[in-house]
Amino acid sequence: MNVINIAIDGPSGAGKSTIAKRAASRFGIIYVDTGALYRAIGVNVLRQGLDTADPAQVEETLKTVEISLRFIGGEQRVFLRDEDVSEAIRRHEASMAASNVSAVPAVREFLFGLQKDIARKNSCVMDGRDIGTVVLPDAQIKIFLTASAEVRAKRRFDELRAKGSSETYGEVLEDMIKRDYNDSNRAVAPLRQADDAVLIDTTGLTLEQSVQAVIDVIEGRKYFL
């Protein structure tokens, strides 16, 4: 089979990671969570006691950071040097850090080659904010996955609460709205739907219905027959 790339973009909390991972498993290809890379950069900046909103400080950390994706048992794991930070990057503080560092052109350039190289060598489902518009503009299938801010915030709140986090729903919603604004209005590679992407709004859908909606779009292109 030729290499097939599926790009899934959308705002924070739209369920991209969970849905993209399920779709990748359904078609027997790898899943690449590019947001995890930005989260790892953000966590690295925070650990050094620096300001993720200061481009100069963020760029300085790129000189020594070592970040990689490793696929272990078919699952993506994220490493800073030799430390598996796959869980650490899912903490609440990593979310805004990721949004801040992703607005720094040097960070996007730093990660661009890694993402392109993975997609060139592997059939994959890759999700993020600018996959269909910038990273993989020639992807055979593009999907823009979204939901209302309130629904996305509730999903993220439930996820954080299950992990023992103390954030309130109001705090999560406020951060969600702020991140939406930052991602959509940054100067470099802003969040937007590619002209040839299929829009899927999961506001009124269950997780299973959302996964099936994405699978239906992919199957409709008949690449995996």
Answer whether residue 1 shows pLDDT above 70: no
| Mean pLDDT along residues 106-118 | 91
Rounded Cα distance between 111 and 37, Å, is 8
Q: With beta carbons less than 8 A apart as the criterion, state whether 81 and 66 touch.
A: yes
3-state helix, strand, coil in the chain (%, to 5): 50, 15, 30
Q: Could you report the per-residue pLDDT of 65-98, keeping only the tens digit for each? A: 999 888 887 788 999 999 999 999 988 889 889 9
Tokens of residue 120, six digits: 């060139």
Dihedral sign of CA atoms 118, 139, 106, 177 in order: negative
Q: Which residues of 187-213 are buried (b: 16+ CB within 10 A; e: fewer)?
A: eebebbbbeebbebbbeebeeeebbbb
- At residue 32, the 3 state secondary structure works out as strand
- The pLDDT of 219-223, averaged and rounded, is 91
| pTM (2 d.p.) | 0.83
Tokens of 129: 């904010």
Q: Can you give the pLDDT at residue 188?
A: 81
